[in-house]
Structure 1
């Protein structure tokens, strides 16, 4: 049976139960109520710009709290995986229910948009709610639905059905059709993808929108009411987005449709070529892809199996002597979030009977525990570090952080590490 879904309900409390329980209390406490200027069931992610304020994309080094459906689903998915492993953490199901209840504003038909709706000159548009954008940039943010937010949101709904022991409905046909249509075939590749040799991959594209749509504004500074637009008018292939789509399609038992095999082949090729850091246009991290592939493998995406040993070896090779994993200096070299991603990857893919794996997991756990903090009420958390970026051109200067997500990842690693510590 898959590791994620083996409940330990009848056994002794986990070794790190105190830390895990306190972390879940932190996450529960900071989940939004729907009465505090945010939609129900979200967490306050922070987006920070490091470009000069005069450019008008945020304010230099000023974090803006900007919760989104993507962050909410990402946090809740990790929580669901904790609960599916150990159902004694009863704080989790109500948090998941709140997140799903708060989805309503983010739907685009059956798809999901990253941003909530707003109105500009009488036209319904999509916009950040709190982040400062100068007038010339407001239209740029009027983006279409995307494969990343759509896949993680539907994954969460399927997890809730698993928790409640009920059958999930079929994925809406609009979702299946959108994934099938938005693929990297017979098109001019995005310059970022072309630079890595990624073209005609057949993999899934990020934006669930026709980049040739004649009604899409071609002027990136066109006002919001001029229409929905893909950033810079070119769709793109992101390896992490593809991993999230594969995971959803496997959970939904929709693995025979267009793009599934091509996406697997693309990710396996990326791993062979060790393109971990640059393949994620929106994820400036060495460890986002390994973690995403590890969770996909644990969900049964067996076509990624050829990459398993390479992923393990890569993660082991990147660990530092103090037990941490660190990101590139280009992305402000965080170590807590990177360690949480990498440690989970090693735990999920490794062998708890392998002495090298055991030693490396123990080292990583010690480091992660050393970085835990307490809020004013004594609840345990791990401070959020770079999670994802705005666009490829702002891959380093405009980044999002979420302490709820980093804390959930850390709690999950502590829970799953126990077989390696015995």
Structure 2
């Protein structure tokens, strides 16, 4: 009887293992069809003020009603974050496997569009567009300056229109410059950069001037400030961190800062006497106060690592300290002002680590432990319930990419955790004709008080993330031990 039980148990184990295996052909086919989806949905023509050739569809929407922003609405939006984000994902996929030549036309089409968000080496989240309305009482400037704003979301009051006219930021600047770096690696001199000079006689030499250097980011560090963001005070700690700040502009300053003054000015945000009050036609830092975001810092580190400038930047020490500070205190859901999904933090750190920033390894170990503890039985991950009802698909995608990046740099990531996460994602795919895609989850938000209210989603962005995850999964060193059907 004992031997019979042993053989039954052994047979059951083999059967379970066989069921858990994932066909290599299935993965290859899904990757191919995901890239076809991205090619098909990429915008083909520009309709000024509405859509722009080379971008991918993205949407901003209200999760619930919020003062000055209205009720639950969903609008198409053009922004650099989505386009440069997808461009960088596709570039990394192509640089990993140059047989994926179907990526190249997408890159050619989107790169000029990314440059439309640039002011020299700095990038903005939104385009410069004619204002939707008069932005001050009385006579308007002549000519009327263009402002940063959403393309379709109708902002009504003068106040909220002026508040949307945001400064350039470190996040989009890092992403836009990373696209320029990848552009050179892939195309060399084949496509002109839309920057100060059209000459590409020596791109590599000129790129030192055309691509942002560490010095730009070091100009805006969390040191010797006479202000501090209330969100950092309440949730992030680590005062005078020395980390990179989000906004590339001059914040308001107090003679002597205190949190009482900050709260007081936030209470009267709608009055001109408040530092929070936006000025007409002038770039605006939200609340008049710069902030320190762990995900933004990881994104800057990823760019500087790719450019080979980590050792030169003064901000790297502060960024590493700030990121570790959030991880050791398990602030997974609060680490990013503009990134409400708790696993976006893990993903952003893993990208910087994969780019070569080995100082993040202690943080990665903490994150890996959290990933092991929080994976659900079906292989998925979930964010906070307030974030798009847990946002299981987006959370699992970020977590899987973090696991794959951590494993690549040598951390001990169990194969079963990867297999289960991939199986979950494959079960979530949507198929239309000969294309496959994944429905977009929340990848960005309005930040701070609206971080769980004003969301940005994109099927294209989420599909690009999953496509890269599938590629990384297939290219694992030990993949042949966990999949079948390979020729």
Q: Considering the TM-score relative to the shorter chain, is it more than 0.5?
A: yes
Is 1:311 aligned to residue 350 of structure 2? no
TM-score, normalization by structure 1: 0.90
Structure-2 residue corresponding to 1:50: 63
Structure 1 moving runs of 4+ over 4 Å: 165-168, 171-175, 216-223, 351-356
Is 1:192 aligned to residue 231 of structure 2? yes
Output the CA distance in 1 between the equivalents of 2:377 and 2:107.
Answer: 37
* Structural mapping, 1:296-375, within 5 Å: 296-332=352-388, 333-350=390-407, 357-375=414-432
Using a 3 Å threshold, how does the CA distance of structure 1 residues 364 and 161 change in structure 2: closer, same or farther?
Answer: same
Structure-2 residue corresponding to 1:123: 145
Output the CA distance in 2 between the equivalents of 1:347 and 1:43.
Answer: 26
Structure-1 residue corresponding to 2:441: 385
Shift of 1:100: 1.3
2:120·2:210 contact (CA, 8 Å) conserved in 1? no
Structure-2 residue corresponding to 1:231: 286
1:40·1:101 contact (CA, 8 Å) conserved in 2? no
Output the CA distance in 1 between the equivalents of 2:344 and 2:63.
Answer: 22
Is 1:201 aligned to residue 241 of structure 2? yes
Using a 3 Å threshold, how does the CA distance of structure 1 residues 355 and 260 change in structure 2: closer, same or farther?
Answer: closer
Output the CA distance in 1 between the equivalents of 2:187 and 2:371.
Answer: 34
Using a 3 Å threshold, how does the CA distance of structure 1 residues 221 and 193 change in structure 2: closer, same or farther?
Answer: closer
Shift of 1:324: 0.6
**SS, match of residue 377 in structure 2:** coil
**SS, match of residue 329 in structure 1:** coil
CA offset digits 1:300-350 (Å, max 9, x no partner): 011112222222221111110011111101212111111111011111112
Output the CA distance in 1 between the equivalents of 2:98 and 2:212.
Answer: 33
1:147·1:208 contact (CA, 8 Å) conserved in 2? yes
Using a 3 Å threshold, how does the CA distance of structure 1 residues 379 and 180 change in structure 2: closer, same or farther?
Answer: same
2:445·2:456 contact (CA, 8 Å) conserved in 1? yes
Shift of 1:213: 7.9
Structure-2 residue corresponding to 1:41: 54
Structure-1 residue corresponding to 2:75: 64
Using a 3 Å threshold, how does the CA distance of structure 1 residues 94 and 211 change in structure 2: closer, same or farther?
Answer: same
Output the CA distance in 1 between the equivalents of 2:119 and 2:278.
Answer: 22
Aligned residues: 405
* Structural mapping, 1:18-29, within 5 Å: 18-29=29-40
Using a 3 Å threshold, how does the CA distance of structure 1 residues 331 and 171 change in structure 2: closer, same or farther?
Answer: farther
Output the CA distance in 1 between the equivalents of 2:410 and 2:218.
Answer: 41
Using a 3 Å threshold, how does the CA distance of structure 1 residues 253 and 394 change in structure 2: closer, same or farther?
Answer: same
Q: 2:302 aligns with which of 206, 228, 247?
A: 247
CA offset digits 1:144-165 (Å, max 9, x no partner): 1000101011111212222346
TM-score, normalization by structure 2: 0.78
Output the CA distance in 1 between the equivalents of 2:437 and 2:376.
Answer: 22
Using a 3 Å threshold, how does the CA distance of structure 1 residues 175 and 113 change in structure 2: closer, same or farther?
Answer: farther
Query: Which segment drifts farther, 103-112 or 237-246?
Result: 103-112
Output the CA distance in 1 between the equivalents of 2:145 and 2:469.
Answer: 45
Shift of 1:275: 1.4
Unaligned runs of 5+ in 2: 1-23, 132-139, 190-202, 255-271
Output the CA distance in 2 between the equivalents of 1:173 and 1:153.
Answer: 9
Larger Rg: 2
Using a 3 Å threshold, how does the CA distance of structure 1 residues 273 and 31 change in structure 2: closer, same or farther?
Answer: same
Using a 3 Å threshold, how does the CA distance of structure 1 residues 82 and 45 change in structure 2: closer, same or farther?
Answer: same
Is 1:102 aligned to residue 142 of structure 2? no
**SS, match of residue 356 in structure 2:** coil
1:325·1:338 contact (CA, 8 Å) conserved in 2? yes
Structure-1 residue corresponding to 2:197: none
1:138·1:223 contact (CA, 8 Å) conserved in 2? no
Unaligned runs of 5+ in 1: 1-12
- C-alpha RMSD of matched pairs (Å): 2.4
2:61·2:75 contact (CA, 8 Å) conserved in 1? yes
Output the CA distance in 1 between the equivalents of 2:278 and 2:420.
Answer: 52
